[in-house]
Amino acid sequence: MTVAPVAVVLALALGTFASCGVDEEREARENREVLAQFPPYPGAAEAWSSDQPFDRDEEELVEVWDAVRTTVEYDAPEGTTADDVLRHYREHAPDGWTASHLGFAPILTFCRDGVSVSVDAQATFPEDPTYRVIVVRGDAC
C-alpha cells in the first residue's frame, strides 16, 4: 500500500511550509535587543509598546514581506521638541547604523543589515511631546 510514502511526503511538505513563516517570539526578542542599543531621550518615559506581525500587504511603505514590528511610544519631558528628539537619536546611534531623514517629516530612520529603526516624532510638539521608535526586520532598508 502507498499510504506511508504519501503520509511522509505530506508531513515533509507541511513542515517545510510551516517553516517559511516568521518566528514571532524570536523576532520580537531580537527587535527588543536592537531597541536596547538606542537609548531613549533623557527623561522620556515609556507610555506603551507592542510587538505585532507586519505584513507587506497591509502597508506599502516599506519593502518587507513577513516580519514583526516592535513599536515603543515614549512621553518626552514637557518643552521637548521633535528636533530635540531626532538630534538625540542621531547623536547616540550605535556605530554601524546608517541614518536617513525624510526632509518633509520629523522621522529619522537608521538601517543596518536589513533592520530598520525609525524614530517618528510626528506628534504635536511641544503640546504633546510623544514619539515612537519602531523596529522592523526584513528588507526594510
Confirm whether 106 is domain-assigned: yes
Is 6 a member of any domain?
no
Is 10 inside a domain boundary? no
111 is in which domain, residue-wise? 23-137
Which residues, 6+ apart, have CB-to-CB distance to 107 below 8 Å? 101, 118, 119, 120, 121, 122
Q: Is residue 52 part of a domain?
A: yes
Mean pLDDT on 67-82: 92
How many domains does the chain contain in total?
1
pLDDT digits (tens, 9 = 90+) for 51-61: 998 765 555 55
Q: For residue 1, is pLDDT > 50?
A: no
